[in-house]
Amino acid sequence: DAKTTQPPSMDCAEGRAANLPCNHSTISGNEYVYWYRQIHSQGPQYIIHGLKNNETNEMASLIITEDRKSSTLILPHATLRDTAVYYCIVRGGAAGGTSYGKLTFGQGTILTVHP
């Protein structure tokens, strides 16, 4: 799986957009970009994923650059409850490969939303 690089921490004011970057310069053609978040002492929660196109759901938007070497997770109107560790993960889509079924979580970005 491609390695990802995220800033260790970020701050955001409540009500403003939170833009969390992720670099994945070694991503290959069949690898998806996933975002999860983990609130303290809870299990990670899936947010969004994408392959090539930008994606949006009720939680967030995912912007993937044209060369797919980086992406940004956008929380459009951050709230205090969005304070969490955000993980960017890249993983292949081919069945039977050595990375089949596995998501590798790095240390993520600690997002702190303040009043």
Residues that bind other proteins (CB under 8 A): 30, 32, 34, 36, 41-46, 49, 51, 87, 91, 93-95, 100-108
Amino acid at 42: Q
Smallest distance from other proteins to CB 107, Å:
5
User: Which two tokens mark 26?
Assistant: 């070694």
Smallest distance from other proteins to CB 82, Å:
18
HEC-encoded secondary structure of the chain: CCCCECCCEEEEECCCCEEEEEECCCCCCCEEEEEEEECCCCCCEEEEEECCCCEECCCCEEEECCCCCEEEEEECCCCHHHCEEEEEEEEECCCCCCCCCCCCCCCCEEEEEEC
| Nearer CB in complex with other proteins: 17/51 | 51
| Nearer CB in complex with other proteins: 87/111 | 87
| Nearer CB in complex with other proteins: 43/115 | 43
Smallest distance from other proteins to CB 42, Å:
6
| Nearer CB in complex with other proteins: 49/74 | 49
Smallest distance from other proteins to CB 30, Å:
8
